[in-house]
Chain A
Amino acid sequence: DSGVTQTPKHLITATGQRVTLRCSPRSGDLSVYWYQQSLDQGLQFLIQYYNGEERAKGNILERFSAQQFPDLHSELNLSSLELGDSALYFCASSVDRGYNEQFFGPGTRLTVL
C-alpha cells in the first residue's frame, strides 16, 4: 500500500459524459501527478500540482482539467468523453525534494462505451 488513495476504482460511462476522478496523496506529500495509461500509449504524464498550484503540464487534452484543493487532495475532470479516453488513470504523490520517488495510487479504470 503506497498511501495514495484513488476513487472510484472502476468507472463505466457513455461517450459525451463527464466524470471526476479523485486522489488523496500520502500524508505530508505536497505534489500530485496525474498519468493516463492505455494499451497503445504506455504511461503518459498529464499534469502536476504542487501545494494547490499547477506546476507542470504534459499532453493533457483541453477536455480534461484538474485541481488541487487546500487539503491537498486532487480531482481530475474528464468531459465530452470519447471511446479513446478509456484507460487506467493513475495519481502519484511525492515530497518534491531529493530524488523524489513518486508513489502511485491503485488507479481508476475508466471505460467509455
Chain B
Amino acid sequence: GQNIDQPTEMTATEGAIVQINCTYQTSGFNGLFWYQQHAGEAPTFLSYNVLDGLEEKGRFSSFLSRSKGYSYLLLKELQMKDSASYLCAVRSSSNDYKLSFGAGTTVTVRA
C-alpha cells in the first residue's frame, strides 16, 4: 500500500519562508510531485523530483531523499496568493503513471 504523510496546516507571514515536509512509504518509487490547489479549484503542477537533491524553480524549491522516503517543498518570499493547499504525490509504478496523493498541507499566509 501507499502511505504519504504531510502536516495538515501551516501558517506563515508574508515575505517569510515556509517548508512543507512529506514522508512516504510506497511499494515502489518513480517520482515525487508537488501540486498547489486553491480552495475549490483544480490542482496545478509545481515540481517534480526523481533523483536525490534540490530542484529550484523561482520562489519554489523541492528536495528529495529517496533513502529516507522524504521530500520537502520550500516556498520563499511568501505572498498572500500562496495561501493554498500543497499536495505531495508519489508515482510508485514504472508500468503506469497514476499518482498517490497525501492529504495536503493548508498554508495560510498572514500580512
Contacts and interface: CB of A to CB of B under 8 A. Distances in A.
A25 interface: no
Interface in B79-111: 87, 89, 91, 93, 96-104
Q: Which interface class (under 10, 10 to 19, 20 to 34, 35 or more) fits B?
A: 20 to 34
A64 to B, nearest CB: 16
A102 B50 contact: no
Nearest to B4: A42
Contacts, number: 55
A56 B98 contact: yes
B43 A48 contact: no
B45 A103 contact: yes
A106 B42 CA distance: 5
B98 to A, nearest CB: 5
A102 B42 contact: no
A42 B102 contact: yes
Interface of B: 31, 33, 40-45, 48, 50, 87, 89, 91, 93, 96-104
